[in-house]
Copies of this chain bind each other. A is one copy, B any other.
């Protein structure tokens, strides 16, 4: 494989990971929309997304493995491919979290609507922002942008803790609302996990970009490119 073809394969891997990210983000948005309007038909869409996400995860893993096996890439490309493998696994888990939320919505279907002390749409929008931003940091190889994701995680953690406190109070004091409060609490927790996965992705981006920096400092960038021989 020539360097140009190898580069094209890396670009294709990146493209597929972005499709994966788009699916995962959409799954979260749909799950929250289903939660907000209690629409089981949207839950069905989330379940279908999950199947697509799981399939794409396997395809990306296999493509990454093939590139590693056939090309034996050097340090910088190796780190990139390993980051893809890790980010891929985290995006699959975002899809799982969306599925968990839509399971909560199915569970809520027969329950009376309750006004609860938690702003799930706001938490969801923050968590989805983090996923989007961590992927943007990946596309642009921007470690600084990745670092902003880490600080956003603190905000989601704080919201989750506040939700936990307020919702357990509801459970104790208004036990007829306990099932609804529990569903809200588990939805908040799923969103906090999504924020954690975005944080993992941001950390992988930092790992990858800093690897690039290290390489740069060692002036390997000016060394002959072994792939040019391919």
Contact = CB atoms under 8 A, between A and B. Distances in A.
Contacts of A89: 86, 89
B69 A78 contact: yes
Contact of A175 (B65, B69, B85, B178): B178
Contacts of A72: 72
A172 interface: yes
Interface string A53-89: 0000000000001001100101100110010011001
B175 A179 contact: no
B78 A65 contact: yes
Report the 7 A-B pairs with minimum CB-CB distance, sorted nearest first. A175-B175, A72-B72, A171-B178, A172-B178, A69-B75, A69-B78, A172-B175
24 contacts: A65-B78, A65-B79, A65-B82, A68-B68, A68-B78, A69-B74, A69-B78, A72-B72, A82-B85, A85-B85, A85-B86, A86-B89, A168-B178, A168-B179, A168-B182, A171-B175, A171-B178, A171-B182, A172-B178, A173-B175, A175-B175, A175-B178, A182-B182, A182-B185
Interface of A: 65, 68-69, 72, 74-75, 78-79, 82, 85-86, 89, 168, 171-173, 175-176, 178-179, 182, 185
Given A168-B178, A172-B176, 14 more contacts: A65-B78, A65-B79, A65-B82, A68-B68, A68-B78, A69-B74, A85-B86, A89-B89, A168-B182, A171-B171, A171-B178, A175-B178, A182-B182, A182-B185
